[in-house]
Structures are given as structure tokens and as C-alpha cells.
Chains A and B, each alone.
Chain A
Amino acid sequence: MDEIIELVGFGDKGWGEALLKGTIITMQISCGGFLVGLIIGLVVALAKMNGSASVKRVAKGYTTICRSVPELLLIIMLFYGGSSTINIIGDYLGFGDVDLAGMPVAILVLGLVQGAYASEIFRGAIQSVHFGQVEASYAYGMSRVKTFWRVTLPIMAPSALAGLGNLWVYIIKDSALISVVGTNELLYTAKQAGSSTQEYLIFFGVAALIYYVITLLSSYAFKVLERYLRRWQPTR
């Protein structure tokens, strides 16, 4: 037991510091990807509802592809293709070769996949708002912006939040896939630690524990937030 504590601790021989750094990078990738996903999701949801026929088709095609092609394949494809594209743009703008070290690409890829799922959540949530309520607020003389903030958003928020909470947990778990292309997030660090000490079970176990704690805490936080946003609804 002492041995294990020394290996994962913060001492000279310990991997604690590296694992902590990996955890932070995992959180950065997840937060970034989640934000990118929210923005893409909102835009695509609006495109699906209000766009012309061809815009709708593009939006639908994007959702279908991102939901049926494995994330790992998209990550490999966009990582090798995407980083060379960004390097070309960087060259063109005179930055020279930008060393991406994977992180922005990782955020972009995870955001793209999340966007597909998020767009469906937003669409469902927006459509769940009864049109009569929007009409009523117009009749009271509210502007479109005010109607969105005071009527549409509060009504759609609880149902959207439940879906978004699930998405957040998904992206934390999906961020582990980024380790395959060599970004030093939590799982990659654990794998390195495992291969240099030959104690795979310990380090992957610790990584699993960290992921588990993160997902548990976040589901709890989302539950509390959802209860807060549902406070205007009659209790069942």
C-alpha cells in the first residue's frame, strides 16, 4: 500500500504532479470542447429550424455524420488533416509552423461531435416551448429579445439542461480518446506512468477514479442547477 501511495504521490518518484497536470488538461479540453459544442449546436439548431431547404440539408448531414462515425475516427482524421491545414494557414499568416500539441485540435474535434448532439437537444427544447406563450408575450408588448430572455429561455432551460448535463459527462469521457493522438491529458499521462513503472493497473485505476469523481461531482452539480431552474414549475 505504501508503495502505491509513493507511486501516485507528489514525491520525487511519484507521478502525482504529472497526473494532476493531466487532469487539468483534460478539464481544459472538456470545457473548451463543451463551449465550442454549445455554439455549434445552437447555430445548427437554428439552421435546422429556420434555414432554407439546402441549409437544412447541410445541417442534417452534419448531424448524421457526426452521430454515426466513431469519434476516434473523426479525431484521427481531423487531427492529422486539421493540424496540417492550420499549419498552412499559420505559414500563410507568417507565424511559421504552429506547434499545436494537439490541444486546439482536440477541442475542435470534440466540439464538432458535441455540436451534433447539442443541436438536437436545443431543437427539442426550443420546440417544447408552446407558441401560445410566445404570442402572449408579444401581445403584452414585449420585444423579441425580451421575449427570448423572459419567456422562451426560462421555459426551455430545464429540459435543455438535463440533456446538456449528459453531454458534459460524455465529453469528459470522450476526452480520453484524445490520448490516442498523443496529447498529454489524464489518460495519456497514466499510460506513460504505467509503461515506465510497469504498474499499469495502479495508474489506470487512479485515472479511472479521477474520471469517476469528476463525472459524479458534475452530475450532482447539474442536478442542483436543474432543480433551481425548475423552481417555477408545479411540483409533481
Chain B
Amino acid sequence: MNMLLEYSGLLLDGFWVTLSLLLISFLFGSVFAVFVALARLSKIKIIAYPAFLFSSVIRGTPLLVQIYIYYYGLGALFSHVPEIRSSFLWPYLRDGYWYIAFALIVSTAAYWGELIRGGLLSVPKGETEAARAFGMSATKVLLRVNLPRAIYYLTPTLAGETVLLLKSTALASTIAVVDLLGVANRIRSLTFEVYQPLLLIAIIYLIMTYFIELIFDRIEKSIPVNV
């Protein structure tokens, strides 16, 4: 309990880092995921095949390896280019936070793209045809009929996927970003206590999971049943 009070500032900072990573990757990841899904479903091979390769490679390799490739691999390359070093982007490119955010967005786009593709395929053909018969353009059909239907259908799955995303944000601590797990590691090295800080953080993750499930439960209940 003392620990909670003594390091509350540090814990709060770590919490914000974890939460912001979750929100950023959720938001941008799901938008890109829609594009990945559409590209995967495209009838044009030059669009569909790269999208397939992208999602296959990202889903077939460990996220930690991807993070290392961006952070150590590309990060080292960037530091050798003077133009990048002097550009306004450099402060961002030096910070591990943006590498982990990038890695999470890319991975979310790949995993969720595959889910949304499945959701879009499950929309009954008759509904698409009916919407077209009303004179909606292809984009409008997608935005008003197919996509909402796919997302309704996927809501229970997305709850679980969001929890997985929360767990993935903990990888930030491997590249020296002080998220919740990073805070636990720091307290551990300051106090030589192994279990207490880790247990404390584990409880925080449990509570966050609970809230994610609660929010998705609400969303699921607000979905009209007879669509």
C-alpha cells in the first residue's frame, strides 16, 4: 500500500502511456484495418495480393520482432541520415513511444483487417443488392450497409481483440518506454521488491480489461437486434 502512495505519480504516468497507446492503436489501427479488408477483397490482383502478403507476414511473425526491426533496425538507419537528424521529425524518431505506436497500429491493421474481411463477407448479398437498387453509390453502400453490418457482427470478437491489444502495449517496456510494465520494472530496480510492483500492475491490467469488456457490452446492447 505504501508503494502505491510513494510511486503514485510514476504509476499515473505509466497508466497514461499505456492508455494512450491503446487508444491510438485502436483508432488508427481500425481505420487502416478497413482499408486492408477492402484491399484483400478487391478483385484487382495487384491490390489484393500485396494486402494478402502484408497481413500474412505481420500475423506470421512475433510482434516483438517487428518492434525490434522498427526500433533497432530502422531507428539505426535513420540516425545515419543527416537530413533526418536535422528535420523536425527527429525528436519523434528518437522516441521509442512512436515506434511502439507504429508497430501496434500496423499489427492491429493486419489482424483486424482479416476480421473485418470476414465480417464483410458475412453480409447477406440481398442487402447489398437492395441498397444498390435504391440508387446508393458503391461507397455509400459500404458506409451505410456493409460496414455497419460487419461491425455489429464483429462486436463480441472485437472486445477480445481489444484486450489482446491492451496486452500487446506491454511490449513498450522492451524498448525503454515507461508504460505500466515499465513502471513496475523501475520500482523493482529501485526497491528490490519483485512481486509487489508486478502484482500491483497486474491488478491494474485486470481492471482495465474489466472496463474494456464493460464498454463493449454496452455497445453490444445498443445494437438493434432486428437489423
Which residues of A come within 8 Å of B, CB atoms? 64-65, 67-73, 76-77, 80-81, 169, 172-177, 179-180, 187, 190-191, 194, 198, 200-201, 204-205, 207-208, 211-212, 215-216
Contact = CB atoms under 8 A, between A and B. Distances in A.
Given A180-B174, A211-B62, A73 B184 contact: yes
22 contacts: A68-B163, A68-B166, A68-B167, A69-B202, A73-B181, A73-B184, A73-B201, A175-B62, A177-B62, A187-B62, A190-B65, A190-B68, A191-B72, A200-B68, A201-B73, A201-B74, A204-B69, A204-B72, A204-B73, A205-B73, A215-B61, A216-B60
Nearest to B168: A70
Given A69-B206, A200-B72, A208-B65, 13 more contacts: A68-B163, A73-B184, A73-B205, A174-B62, A176-B62, A177-B64, A180-B174, A187-B62, A187-B68, A200-B76, A201-B76, A205-B69, A211-B61
Contact of A72 (B69, B76, B171): B171
A69 B167 contact: yes
B66 to A, nearest CB: 7
Contacts of B210: 68
Interface string B195-213: 1001101100110011000
Instruction: Kindly list the 5 A-B residue pairs having the minimum CB-CB distance in the complex, ordered from nearest.
Output: A70-B170, A201-B73, A68-B209, A176-B62, A200-B72
Interface string B57-91: 10011111110110011101100000000000000
Contacts of B68: 187, 190-191, 200, 204
Contacts of A169: 60
A211 B62 CA distance: 7
Contacts, number: 109
Nearest to A201: B73
A76 B187 CA distance: 14
A28 B96 CA distance: 31
Nearest to B205: A69
Given A208-B61, A212-B57, A215-B61, A77 B195 contact: yes
Contact of B64 (A65, A187, A200): A187
* Chain B: interface size category: 35 or more
B206 A176 contact: no
Interface in B160-202: 163, 166-171, 173-174, 181, 184-185, 194-195, 198-199, 201-202
B contacts with A: majority SS: helix
A70 B181 contact: yes
A201 B76 CA distance: 9
B198 A77 contact: yes
Interface in B115-149: none
Interface-central residue, A64, A71, A76, A187, by most chain B CB under 10 Å: A76
Contacts of A65: 202, 206
A212 B206 contact: no
Contact of B167 (A71, A76, A81, A191): A71
A169 B56 CA distance: 12
A157 B206 CA distance: 32
Contacts of A180: 64, 174
A73 B73 contact: no
A187 B171 CA distance: 14
A207 to B, nearest CB: 6
Contacts of B60: 169, 211-212, 215-216
A208 B64 contact: no
A67 B163 CA distance: 8
A54 to B, nearest CB: 20
